[in-house]
Amino acid sequence: MHPAAPLLPPALDLVGIAIFALTGALVAARLQQTFVTMTFFALITGVGGGSLRDLLIGAPVFWVQDRAVAPVCLGVALLAWITPVRWWEGRLLEWADALGLAVYSVLGTMKALAWDVPPVPAILMGVITGCVGGIIRDVLAGQPSVLMRPELYVTAAALAACLAGAGMAIGLPPGLTWVLAVAAGFALRGAAIHWSLGLPAHRGPDPS
């Protein structure tokens, strides 16, 4: 009834989830938490956004019936536990997260469109897929979330999701739409990392 074909090659999909899960486990490691807490953070960051998307569009939650996703998140937590934190403190992880953000925002939009969600909510599903895992991670850790920081994070997800929605709406081939939307989202997030770009903030309450 609904499309069963995977939207990404399964191995690539697991790599993306593992990157997000690693950012979660490392937040817990920096807070000097236990292995069990690191596992919980790895899982919620890796699958949180996609879980909310699937609940909202009425799809079976992608990782619950899957034999590989949860073990991958557990393995990532173990890796983060046994390796020195400084291995992960370079910019590589940040750039990997930028790529994961762009890929998952496009994936979320494409999946929502495949489930007959209209374009504007489908774009929002893409943003949710890319960002919500990290937002829950930050709320649980009691730190300011990506949502509340001016750097271009949610914005890069929104760009990727919008281009994915627009490309499908005007009839571009899906493969081309994927490439363009991921490239644009990744480029914007990368520019934000490299040049510390941020959006302008609201001026707040009017000065007296």
User: Residue 163 corresponds to which tokens in the numbers above?
Assistant: 């281009």
Residue number, 85 or 176, with CB nearest to its own copies: 85
Q: Does 94 bind its own copies (CB under 8 A)?
A: no
Residue from 1, 9, 175, 203 touching its own copies (CB under 8 A): that is 203
Distance CA 39, CA 36 (A): 5
Q: Does 118 bind its own copies (CB under 8 A)?
A: yes
**Residues touching its own copies, count (CB under 8 A):** 65
Q: Does 3 bind its own copies (CB under 8 A)?
A: no
Distance CA 98, CA 192 (A): 10
Shortest approach of its own copies to residue 33 CB, angstroms? 6
Residue number, 32 or 196, with CB nearest to its own copies: 32
In order of 13, 71, 122, 204, the CA distances from 6 in angstroms are: 9, 19, 18, 45
Q: Does 116 bind its own copies (CB under 8 A)?
A: yes
Q: Does 117 bind its own copies (CB under 8 A)?
A: yes
Binding mask 122-161 for its own copies (x = CB under 8 A): --xx-x-------x---xxxx-xx-xx-x---xx--x---
- The crossing angle, in degrees rounded to 10, of helices 174-195 and 154-169 is 160
Shortest approach of its own copies to residue 204 CB, angstroms? 4
Which parts of 48-87 interact with its own copies (CB under 8 A)? 51, 55-58, 60-61, 63-67, 69-71, 74, 81, 84-86
Residue number, 170 or 175, with CB nearest to its own copies: 170
Residues making contact with its own copies (CB under 8 A): 28-38, 40, 43, 51, 55-58, 60-61, 63-67, 69-71, 74, 81, 84-86, 89, 112, 116-118, 120-121, 124-125, 127, 135, 139-142, 144-145, 147-148, 150, 154-155, 158, 198-206
